[in-house]
Structure formats: structure tokens, C-alpha cells
């Protein structure tokens, strides 16, 4: 996909589900509706409904009472959301946004930013990592 082209994007909520399934599988080796319900702070019927939608779209395979796993396309979306989250979080940290504010802002931004914007933020973050003197100047400037 050329830079700047809008990807076909799932809803922020669907992306959150895929990201959470990915993390649960990475952390625990499995994901089920009870775990998702706890992590996402939603009722089990809500989880079941979304899982059905995601399965029908080909993003995950679900066996009732046995758990679920991501398909290749579901994992690709989950990894993309995680990567966007990491980039935005690091950028906000670099400019001095801390703690809960950084987390909430990252959660709000990660689902709505265009690929070209993420690419440019990522490049800026790389530049600032390689040039700590510039980062120090930016931190000094934005904190005044």
C-alpha cells in the first residue's frame, strides 16, 4: 500500500478486541471470552457478540468453551495496532507527556491516525533517538 493511502480500518473497538486477544495469547497461551470480558471491562454477552462478528470477518477462529485464536489477517491487524500504540506512546513520552495522560492519549490517537502520519511520527522518533541533543532541546522547549 502506498504511503498515505487510507487502509481499510476496523472500528476502534474491533481493533481493541484483536489487540487484546493477541496479548492474551502471548501472555497466557490462550484467549477466551471470560478473559476478554475481564480485560476489556465489558459483559460476556457483549464479548460473544463481537467475537462472532470478528470470526465472520475472518479475523479469528472461535470454538465455544475452547477459546480462540487469531487468523493471519487478525494477527496482522493486532500487530499494526500494537505498533501504532508503541510509536505514539514513545513519541508522547519523548515530549514529556507522562503516565495516565500519555496512556489515554495514545489509546485515543492510535485508532484514528493515518498510515502516512504514523510513518512520519515513527521517523521523527527514530531521529530523536539518534539525536539526543535535539530531543533535549525539544523537551526543554515544550516544558516551558
Sign of CA dihedral 75, 81, 82, 87: positive
Residues 91 and 137 in one domain: yes
Boundaries of domain holding 35: 12-70
Domains identified in the chain, total number: 2
- The pTM (predicted TM-score) of the whole model is 0.84
Question: What are the CA-CA distances from residue 116 to residues 3, 43, 52, 80, 122 (Å)?
Answer: 5, 36, 32, 13, 10
Average pLDDT over residues 89-95: 95
The reply to whether 63 and 86 lie within a common domain is no
Query: What does the mean pLDDT of the chain come to?
Result: 91
Q: For 10-38, give the secondary structure using H, E and C.
A: CCHHHHHHHHHHHHHHHHHCCCCHHHHHH
User: Residue 113: which CATH number?
Assistant: 1.10.60.10
| Structural domain contains residue 30 | yes
Model pLDDT, residue 65: 82
- How many CA atoms lie within 13 Å of 20's alpha carbon, on the beta-carbon side? 22
**Does 106 share its domain with 56?**
no
Provide the pLDDT for residue 5.
40
The four Cα atoms 39, 41, 43, 44 give a dihedral, to 10 degrees, of 0
Q: Are 59 and 17 members of one domain? A: yes
Same domain, 137 and 108: yes
Summarised one tens digit per residue, pLDDT across range 41-83 is 999 999 999 999 999 999 999 988 888 999 999 999 999 999 9
Residue 3 lies in a domain: no
Residue 20 maps to which CATH number?
1.10.10.10
For 121-133, how does the pLDDT look when each residue is reduced to its tens digit (9 = 90+)?
999 999 999 999 9
Q: Indicate whether 99 and 63 sit together in one domain.
A: no
Q: For residue 77, tell me if it sits in a domain.
A: no
- Per-residue pLDDT tens digits for 4-41: 443 456 789 999 999 999 999 999 999 999 999 999 99
Question: Where does a domain end: 70, 101, 117?
Answer: 70
Amino acid at each position: 500500500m502506498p504511503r498515505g493511502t487510507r487502509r481499510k480500518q476496523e472500528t476502534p473497538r474491533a481493533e481493541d478486541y484483536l489487540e487484546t486477544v493477541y496479548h492474551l495469547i502471548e501472555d497466557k497461551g490462550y484467549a477466551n471470552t471470560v478473559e476478554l470480558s475481564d480485560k476489556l471491562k465489558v459483559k460476556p454477552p457483549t464479548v460473544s457478540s463481537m467475537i462472532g462478528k470478528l470470526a465472520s470477518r475472518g479475523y479469528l477462529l472461535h470454538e465455544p468453551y475452547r477459546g480462540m485464536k487469531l487468523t493471519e489477517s487478525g494477527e496482522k491487524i493486532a500487530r499494526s495496532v500494537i505498533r501504532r500504540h508503541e510509536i505514539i506512546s514513545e513519541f508522547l513520552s519523548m515530549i514529556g507527556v507522562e503516565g495516565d495522560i500519555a496512556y489515554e492519549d495514545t489509546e485515543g490517537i492510535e485508532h484514528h491516525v493515518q498510515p502516512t502520519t504514523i510513518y512520519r511520527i515513527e521517523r521523527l522518533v527514530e531521529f530523536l533517538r539518534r539525536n539526543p541533543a535535539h530531543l533535549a532541546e525539544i523537551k526543554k522547549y515544550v516544558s516551558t
